[in-house]
């Protein structure tokens, strides 16, 4: 991912650049720092820049482009970089395009942080008043007067870059007056939509990853505790139900036993009654059988008595 951040002084370019560096593992290339580092390293371009700066002159664009060319060849810039403070003019932008073409690299996007200049001035004035109220000295470069000059310089020199990159369909505009978090999210959203972020770049930084793991572990433990607690509560709540079910089962068993006993009780007298009735019937039958001979005897006796009287 190779980016340029554009915006007037106080728009938050430095803050957003640092956030992109930490999130995506790319490097922030500041022309001032690169010039000083090249001079300290004693490279041919660095020595040339050092001589010009020591004489109070402005380093020519070709020297700055040469230093950038050396810097982006270093290992830490392989994943990508953000250019800070360069390009400032259209000729510098053209020189950068040529450099990237030669190295077979492409610029992914130019992100413009658009802000309200009046709001920036009001913000600086308020900050200066608060600094004085604390009894501290206001920095010379942090006053409304200095900011006004820097804004005028930005409009005349750097603002034409907005049109330059817009024509090449590289410009993406973000509302720099939003909160820092909102601006960061919006930049990442548009870079993702462009495909400028590779899969690895979507990964969280180590600290975020560690925090994520800790959060997952905590959530797991909390869920486990909650499950145990819920199971315990459910078991406790189910106890009366189990007791009631047990009581109902006993009642059912008792009812069955009672029915069985009742059946037995009803059945036994019935059997006895049948047996008794059978005995009585048998006795009656026997009695009837015994009475027939007696009747015959009585009849015969009467007949004999009548015969005697008539003789």
Q: Is the pLDDT of residue 268 over 60?
A: no
Q: Which residues pair with 114 in a beta bridge?
A: 175
SS3 78: coil
- The verdict on whether 139 is a catalytic residue reads yes
pLDDT at 139: 79
Q: What is the pLDDT of residue 161?
A: 95
Least confident of 39-43, 51-55, 74-78, 237-241: 237-241
Res 200: pLDDT: 44
Tokens of 173: 């505009």
Compute the distance between CA of residue 238 and CA of residue 207 in angstroms, rounded to an integer. 46
Dist CA 202 CA 188 (whole Å): 10
Q: Which of 118, 121, 120, 93 is nearest to 107 (CA)?
A: 93
pLDDT at 297: 52
Indicate if 150 belongs to the active site. yes
Could you confirm whether 114 is annotated as catalytic?
A: no
Across the beta sheet with 171-175, the strand order is 27-30, 81-84, 2-6, 109-114, 171-175
Q: Which of 2, 13, 50, 170 is catalytic?
A: 13
Which pLDDT does position 167 carry in this prediction? 94
pLDDT in tens, 235-265: 676 566 567 656 655 654 555 665 665 455 5
12-35: pLDDT as tens digits = 888 999 999 999 899 998 887 888
pTM for the complete prediction?
A: 0.57
The active-site residue, picked from 19, 36, 79, 88, is: 88
For residue 173, the model assigns a pLDDT of 95
Question: Mean pLDDT: which of 195-204, 253-262, 264-273 is highest?
Answer: 253-262
pLDDT of residue 160: 93
Given this model, what pLDDT does residue 238 score?
A: 59
Q: Which of 103, 139, 216, 228 is catalytic?
A: 139
Name the superfamily (CATH) of residues 2-26+79-203.
P-loop containing nucleotide triphosphate hydrolases (3.40.50.300)
Across residues 170-199, what is the average pLDDT? Answer: 88
CA–CA gap between residue 254 and residue 248 (Å, rounded): 10
Kindly report the CA angle at 107 between 103 and 113, in degrees rounded to 5? 150
| Residue 306 structure tokens | 């009548």
Alpha-carbon distances of 251 from 21, 160, 260, rounded to whole Å: 77, 95, 14
Predicted confidence (pLDDT) per residue in 106-119, tens digit: 999 999 999 999 98
């Amino acid at each position: 991912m190779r980016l340029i951040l554009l915006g007037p002084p106080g728009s938050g370019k430095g803050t957003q650049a640092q956030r992109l560096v930490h999130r995506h593992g790319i490097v922030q290339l500041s022309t001032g720092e690169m010039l000083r580092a090249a001079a300290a390293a004693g490279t041919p371009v660095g020595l040339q820049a050092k001589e010009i700066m020591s004489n109070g002159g402005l380093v020519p664009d070709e020297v700055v482009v040469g230093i950038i060319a050396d810097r982006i060849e270093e290992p830490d810039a392989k994943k990508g970089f953000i250019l800070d403070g360069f390009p400032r003019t259209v000729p510098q932008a053209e020189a950068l395009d040529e450099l990237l073409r030669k190295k077979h690299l492409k610029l992914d996007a130019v992100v413009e942080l658009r802000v309200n200049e009046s709001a920036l001035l009001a913000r600086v004035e308020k900050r200066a008043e608060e600094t004085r109220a604390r009894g501290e000295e206001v920095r010379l470069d942090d006053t409304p007067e200095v900011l006004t000059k820097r804004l005028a310089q930005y409009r005349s020199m750097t603002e034409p870059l907005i049109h330059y990159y817009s024509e090449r369909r590289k410009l993406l505009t973000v509302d720099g007056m939003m909160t820092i978090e909102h601006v960061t999210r919006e930049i990442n959203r548009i870079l993702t939509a462009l495909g400028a972020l590779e899969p690895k770049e979507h990964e969280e930084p180590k600290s975020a990853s560690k925090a994520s793991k800790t959060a997952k572990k905590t959530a797991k433990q909390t869920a486990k505790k909650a499950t145990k607690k819920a199971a315990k509560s459910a078991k406790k709540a189910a106890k009366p139900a189990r007791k009631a079910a047990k009581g109902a089962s006993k009642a059912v068993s008792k009812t069955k036993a009672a029915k069985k006993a009742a059946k037995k009780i009803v059945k036994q007298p019935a059997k006895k009654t049948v047996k008794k009735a059978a005995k009585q019937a048998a006795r009656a039958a026997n009695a009837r059988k015994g009475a027939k001979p007696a009747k015959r005897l009585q009849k015969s006796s009467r007949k004999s008595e009548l015969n005697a009287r008539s003789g």
